[in-house]
Structure 1
Amino acid sequence: MGSSMDWQAWHKQYDDPGSDLSRRLEVVKTQVRAALDRAPDGPVPVIKLCAGQGRDLLDVLEDHPRRADVHARLVELDPVLAATARERAPEQVEVITGDASLTHQYDGMVPAELVLLCGIFGNITAEDIRRTIAASPQLCRTGATVIWTRHREEPDLVPTICRWFEADGFEEVWVSEKEAGFGVGVHRFTGVPEPLVKGQRLFSFVPGGL
């Protein structure tokens, strides 16, 4: 996570089962589980940007039958959140304390089978969302799943985000209904992976979110 927001306090909302964040987390975990279920045989590389405590992936890995196949890299700027994730992470999950917006953080782990962009699109500008989506073919192998989140408040960018993914070689797998109170999207990459451009900054967090 980034920006001047108190992300440690923000994450405490996950402990309230009635909060929108807690409900969203359960939806994301369902989609993570489904993505791992349909992953091809062999190693399953996973990257998670702005990983926070890594709950959406780490919770699923506790009992998923493909657990041993998953090799993941979680990147989180907040050292306390990163340390929490690191304490829970199994041996094959690497947690890096660093700026998740920089493409070199994923060198050696991409193209990945699962890319998690959760908790990002509601905190960056539309231009940076577009830039991140445009760079996603550098992060994904053919057939990879991208799971992303965005609030449904005005301006509701979820339909636009879906169009941007489709323009860059992704097909929609599933998107939550607006009535859910939050947005979770799942897209599958049908194109050809692009070489990783190291040193590229994908986004910058906006203080207070958008």
Structure 2
Amino acid sequence: MDWQAWHDEYDDPGSRLARRLRVVQQRIRLALDACPPGPLRLVSLCAGQGRDLLEVLDGHPRRDDVLARLVELDPGNTAKAEEKAGAAGLVQVEVITADAALTDHYQGMVPADIVLACGVFGNIAGEDVERTIATFAQLCRAGGTVVWTRHRRPPDLVPQICRWFEERGFHLEWLSEPDAGYGVGAHRFTGTPQPLVTGERMFTFVGYDLLGNG
């Protein structure tokens, strides 16, 4: 899979990915608006080229309050994210080329006010989705928000994803309609943050093409 070429669909305003991106960006804006005054932290798993976050921060009133870390394995995508962040003057955004599944890469940035897991759940096995959600209690502060995506094609895992979040102290803030053509959710953490356990792997990124997730 060419993950840089995969992003090209975002440039077609009518594409499924472009429509999903606009919804994700709106949820990020709302999450930023809801954050308390002062500095805040954000982490993004499998951040790609960072379009979801960087296009929101550029021009958002809270842009200078946000200390962010984008974790992405593909060096071509991280190069594009760094270029976009630099062009927008977002000097407080750190882009690292690394395996986003490893908890080590979030040291010093968690618990975060916002956790982004967009483009993750559709590319990993169901048991890894559950494991990752369980780990979010280590990544997210009390009252923080997780914004995530997952397709709605059969077998539709989204209802189970919402149950896994609920079982681990996350309240559903918003969920896209089943017939939207994509799945976007936002959960607020009402539990108690757990200490980050380093050296742990949350998931193995398989890819939707190999999983048959389209």
TM-score normalised by the shorter chain: which range applies?
A: over 0.9
Q: Secondary structure at the match of 1:83?
A: helix
Shift of 1:69: 0.4
Residue 146 of structure 2: aligned partner: 146
Shift of 1:103: 0.3
- Number of positions where the alignment pairs a residue of Structure 1 with one of Structure 2: 206
Distance 1:137 1:173 in 2: 17
The equivalences for 1:1-210 within 5 A come to 5-89=1-85, 90-207=90-207, 208=209, 209=211, 210=213
- AA aligned to 1:171 is H
Shift of 1:44: 1.1
With structure 2 as the length reference, what TM-score do the two structures score? 0.95
Q: Secondary structure at the match of 1:122?
A: helix
Shift of 1:105: 0.3
Q: Secondary structure at the match of 1:40?
A: coil
Q: Secondary structure at the match of 2:195?
A: coil
Shift of 1:155: 0.6
Distance 2:205 2:72 in 1: 13
Q: Which runs of 5+ in 2 are unaligned?
A: none
Distance 2:143 2:131 in 1: 21
Distance 1:119 1:113 in 2: 19
Q: Secondary structure at the match of 1:84?
A: helix
Q: Which runs of 5+ in 1 are unaligned?
A: none
How big is the alpha-carbon RMSD for the aligned residues of Structure 1 and Structure 2? 0.7
Q: Identity, % of aligned pairs?
A: 65
- AA aligned to 2:83 is E
- AA aligned to 1:163 is R
Distance 1:183 1:37 in 2: 22
Distance 2:128 2:56 in 1: 29
With structure 1 as the length reference, what TM-score do the two structures score? 0.97
Distance 1:37 1:64 in 2: 9
Distance 2:56 2:107 in 1: 24
Distance 1:120 1:154 in 2: 17
